[in-house]
Chains A and B, each alone.
Chain A
């Protein structure tokens, strides 16, 4: 009896689902919502929700349903959650992905099912090159681009030699390769650390100091960035060897890094003070909606992903079966991005500016990030030639 009841319930649900799918836009959102890096996932969710608020909670007049899934920062879990979203929830779009290794594990599932996937952060080199797909777009960057911009800045500063330190996973390798692609000085050492479990960098810092390099470059997103800066300052190396970074100082890590972050330059495609109307509104409304929090580039990219989806759905007048037309619309990047206008390359990775950011005390006496200069304009990733789409 009980069994029959459950069975009936399940069948009713199964019948009900396709009916609702037709008149709503279903979005799956894969990010990290548990563990030490959950703050990043929360920021992406906050910004995505804010974008939906700005769109009136509707896309082309249809209600939006977002299903948030936690990848626990693990590639296998991310793949599983992506499969669930594609196969049982039958979502129209999948958004999110902080981590390159999680995205690479999940990619095939989305592409095979021809579900649009919009990476709001991860940008592994493979995605820009041989694994590029008509169904995959990025509202962030290709991993190498940001550190490559940092390399250019280091050339401007006349830095002669560098010691590179980064985590041993897809993005870490891209990041260090990115600096090497533009930096004209000598690379005296290159160290990879176990990711994400290694949090003590004493051995690497000791090597960096003994290498007599003129500078250090690191890529440590999330809490690892806090730990690296702590240890860099405590070892007294901050007074000896200047540090250059990518994705290591942001609005989430800054409250914990405090004064350790002062004087540490970073490169970024979005900074909270970029002077366009959409960005001002975004930062203001975010701080109003989530008191005590500040948006990061992760959030800005998630916000842009919502706008990109909106542009595609509006262009086909809500007919989500017209995938080719939606793809063609998204390729135009026909929406107001928080970073200012950009174009898509053939591989659906933005061609965009990168800025130099610095840590300053703002009007409230709080540490915040500020745009100092434009390092490079309309930068395109160097893997687009390897992409089969023309």
Chain B
């Protein structure tokens, strides 16, 4: 029983982390109709900034905050310098250009920080396991990820649903041309949205960094998951991204945790051990395929155009 609780927490933590990445992606894709493959690079930059600033300041929290600001700034600059010229273009052009940006960022990082990767050590108070219910210990840092990501999700919800900027963002997601025609400074809105998306990606990267390592190309694998999530959740929908991220996180973790044992009941030991990881990594794609067949718009599509 405890095992299930602990694995659920693992899935929740992974899902929330994916949400941070997917939220930015779905905003940019949904509102600006812009396919940004370089979103994973912003995730990577968040991690590199954090590792650098934490080493400079000696404080994990301070360094993380500085890194967050730096990725926000980087996102705004990137939008202003490069991406804004691509809005009117075909999706294929955007894919090509942002793929180029991935290569650019990877090599820029190689030049600045070297090929070996960095470590982002945690302060001692975050490296202890916490007893959540008697008998179940959970790493403090992973708990912190859950808390921070929940807080960010709540804040995003409030901003999008309760403020004027949020209203514009929602309006942009359902009809871009119309809010432009109503005299809203759509360029500024786009820059803001892109900066916000970048900061969220950076936050995901810097929070993931102590668990993994800070290395070149770290954003590429996880970006695929983020795309899966926005397809499942419905493009442009924050709520959809949130639910889908939790689904994906929990299904992926539970699959890894329990599928091997289930398979071992049916298959021989060796065959089960080999098949289980392959199958469990397929589960989320299976989910995506089913959703695409049943609800091509995603689970929670943004308001219809």
Q: Please give the residue numbers on chain A whose beta carbons come within 8 Å of chain B beta carbons, in ascending order.
A: 35-36, 38-39, 42, 168, 173, 190-194, 197-200, 202-204, 206-207, 209-210, 223, 226-227, 230-231, 233-236, 252, 255-258
Contacts and interface: CB of A to CB of B under 8 A. Distances in A.
A234 B278 contact: no
24 contacts: A39-B115, A42-B115, A192-B274, A194-B281, A197-B221, A198-B277, A199-B212, A200-B14, A200-B211, A203-B253, A203-B257, A206-B257, A209-B137, A210-B6, A223-B213, A223-B215, A226-B117, A226-B119, A227-B211, A231-B139, A234-B141, A255-B116, A256-B116, A258-B119
A199 B222 CA distance: 10
Contacts of A258: 119, 121
Interface stretch (B20-28, B92-100, B122-130): B122-130
A188 B70 CA distance: 47
Contact of A236 (B13, B139, B256, B274): B139
A197 B2 CA distance: 28
Contact of A192 (B3, B253, B277): B277
Contacts of A233: 127
Interface of B: 2-3, 6-7, 10, 13-14, 115-119, 121-122, 126-129, 137, 139-142, 210-213, 215-218, 221, 253, 256-257, 260, 269, 273-274, 276-278, 280-281
Contacts of A226: 117, 119, 213
Contacts of B117: 36, 39, 223, 226, 256
Given A36-B217, A202-B253, A190 B142 contact: no
B32 to A, nearest CB: 29
B127 A234 contact: yes
A38 B107 CA distance: 13
B260 A191 contact: yes
A332 to B, nearest CB: 38
Given A200-B212, A234-B122, A235-B129, A173 B257 contact: no
Given A36-B217, A192-B273, A223-B213, A202 B142 contact: yes
Contacts of A252: 116
A115 B13 CA distance: 51
A220 to B, nearest CB: 12
Contacts of A197: 221, 281
Contacts of B127: 233-234
A35 B126 CA distance: 30
B277 to A, nearest CB: 4
A35 B215 CA distance: 9
Contact of A234 (B211, B273, B280): B211
Contacts of A210: 2-3, 6
A227 B217 CA distance: 15
B211 A230 contact: yes
Given A36-B215, A226-B213, A258-B121, 11 more contacts: A194-B277, A200-B14, A202-B14, A204-B256, A230-B212, A230-B213, A234-B126, A234-B139, A234-B140, A235-B139, A256-B117
A256 B119 CA distance: 5
Contact of B276 (A35, A39, A192, A257): A192
Closest 3 interchain pairs by CB?
A236-B129, A202-B10, A256-B119
Contacts of A194: 277-278, 280-281
B160 to A, nearest CB: 29
A346 B239 CA distance: 63
A36 B281 contact: no
B129 A206 contact: no
Q: Which of B116, B128, B274 has its CB near the most chain A CB atoms (within 10 A)?
A: B116
A255 B213 contact: no
Contacts of B215: 36, 223
Report which residue of A227, A236, A257 has the largest number of chain B beta carbons within 10 angstroms of its beta carbon: A236
B258 to A, nearest CB: 9
A227 B212 contact: yes
A35 B217 contact: yes
B51 to A, nearest CB: 10
Contacts of B121: 258
B149 to A, nearest CB: 15
Contacts of A227: 211-213
B265 to A, nearest CB: 15
Nearest to B5: A206
A222 to B, nearest CB: 10
A105 B251 CA distance: 33
A168 B122 CA distance: 29
A191 B280 CA distance: 12
B221 A206 contact: no
Contacts of B139: 231, 234-236
Contacts of B6: 206, 210
B13 to A, nearest CB: 7
Nearest to B2: A210
With most chain A CB atoms within 10 A of its CB, the pick from B126, B127, B221 is B127
Contacts of A230: 210-213
A186 to B, nearest CB: 14
Nearest to A39: B116
Contact of B274 (A35, A173, A203, A255): A173
A197 B260 CA distance: 18
A202 B12 CA distance: 12
A365 to B, nearest CB: 17
Nearest to A38: B115
Contact of B273 (A190, A200, A235): A190
B90 to A, nearest CB: 29
A236 B129 CA distance: 5
A164 to B, nearest CB: 10
A194 B275 CA distance: 10
Contacts of A190: 269, 273
A255 B119 contact: yes
A234 B142 contact: yes
B65 to A, nearest CB: 21
Contact of B211 (A35, A38, A231): A231
Contact of B277 (A168, A200, A235): A168
Contacts of B142: 202, 234
Given A192-B273, A256-B118, A207 B3 contact: yes
Nearest to B13: A202
Contacts of B260: 191-192
Nearest to A164: B273
